Amino acid sequence: MRIKLCQLGGFCLISILLLGLVCACTASTTEESTLPAGASPFPLEVTDQDGRAVTIERMPEKIISLVPSITEIVYALGLEDKLVGVTNYCNYPEAVKDKPKIGGYSTVDLEKVVEIQPDLILATRIHRAEVIPELERLGLTVLDLYPTTIDEVLEAITMVGECTGKEDEASQLVTGIRDRISAITSKTANLTEAQRPRVFYVQWHDPLRTAGSDNRIHELIELAGGTNIAQDLSGISVTISLEAVIAANPEVIVAGVGMAAGEDSPLQLALTEPRLKGVDARINNQVYGMDNDLINRAGPRIAEALEVLAKMIHPEIFGPPENQGGAKIYE
C-alpha cells in the first residue's frame, strides 16, 4: 500500500508540474500577443462618422483637410507640421493661411491632392457623393467626419487623435472642452422656463433663415440658458417668416457675421428692419453679431462659442460679451 501511495504521489507531482508548465506557456503566449507599450497600432481600422470602415495602413505623415472646422482640430492636436493641404476657406488659426491650397470647400482640385500623395484625407458629408469615391478610387485614404451635435464634435476630435497617434492630446482637449461647457451649464441647467430668454439666431437674411432643432446652434442656445424661438422647427437650417419672429418676440437676437466674405447683412437686418423695432431685443439693445466661423464650425472652439452666447443671453450671470481670444462680437 505504501508503495502504491508513493507512486500515486509521484504521479500527482508530475501532473502538477506539467500543469504549471502549460500555464506558464499560456501566460507567455498571452504576453507576447499583447501590444507592447509604445508599439505602433497601425494598420488601424476605424469606423468614421458616415459608418464606413476605414483602414489606415501607417502613421499619417502627410494630412490634407477638406473642411475648415477639421483643420482647426488638426491644429488643436499639434499636427500642423503634417498638414500639407487645406481649402481656400481654412482661415483659423492665422498660420493656416500659409498652407498649400487644394481648392474650395466643395470644389476640391483632385489633381493637386493626388500630386501631394497624402497618407490621410479628412473630408465631410458634402464630399460623399463624388469626391470621396474618386479619392478612394485613386487609392487614397479618406476619413469622413460630419459632427452635428456637440458630442459628435468631441467624437470627431477623438477619432482624429486616434488616427494620427495623438490620442493623449485628443483626450486632454476633449476633457478641457467638457470642463468649459460644464462651467456654463452648472449655472444654467436649473433655470426655469421664465428665466430663459427667447433667442432668435439670424442665420441668413434673404430668405430669412434660422437654426432649427437639429442644428448644433440650437443646442448651444439651450446650454447657454436660452430658448430658441425656432425650437419647434425641425431641420438644421430652416426658413422662418418675419411675422413668426415678431410673434415670438425674441429677447435676444444673435446674427451670424462673416459669411460670404465678410457679409454682415443678417446683422443689418436685425438692427434696422423697421418691423422688428417693437421686439424686446431691439427695445433693450440685446442685438448682437457673432463671428460666423466661431458659432458655426464643428471644431475645438465649440466651448468658446458657448461662452460667448452665454454672455449675450445672460450678461447678469456671465458678464457682458466682449471680443476675446478667437471670438468676435459685433454690437
Taking 60 as the threshold, does the pLDDT of residue 280 lie above it?
yes
pLDDT at 88 (0 to 100): 95
For residue 136, give every residue at least 6 positions away whose Cβ sits within 8 Å of its Cβ, in sequence order, or none. 142
Predicted TM-score (pTM) of the model is: 0.85
Q: Which amino acid is present at 331?
A: E
pLDDT higher than threshold 50 for residue 19: no
pLDDT of residue 40: 75
Residue 76 has pLDDT above 80, yes or no: yes
- pLDDT band for position 47 (cuts 50, 70, 90): very high
Tell me the C-alpha distance between 209 and 201, whole Å. Answer: 8
Average pLDDT, the chain: 88
Q: pLDDT, tens digit, for every residue of 200-238?
A: 999 999 999 999 999 999 999 999 999 999 999 999 999
Structural domains in the chain, CATH included, are 44-165 (3.40.50.1980), 191-330 (3.40.50.1980)
3-state SS, one letter per residue, for 245-312: HHHHCCCEEEEEECHHHHECHHHHHHHHCHHHCCCHHHHCCCEEEEEHHHHHCCCCCHHHHHHHHHHH
DSSP line for 66-84: -SHHHHHHHHHTT-GGGEE
Average pLDDT estimate for 165-184 = 98
What is residue 263's predicted lDDT score, i.e. its pLDDT?
80
- Flag whether pLDDT at 254 surpasses 50: yes
pLDDT digits (tens, 9 = 90+) for 111-155: 999 999 999 999 999 999 999 999 999 999 999 999 999 999 999
pLDDT at 260: 60
| 16 has pLDDT over 50 | no
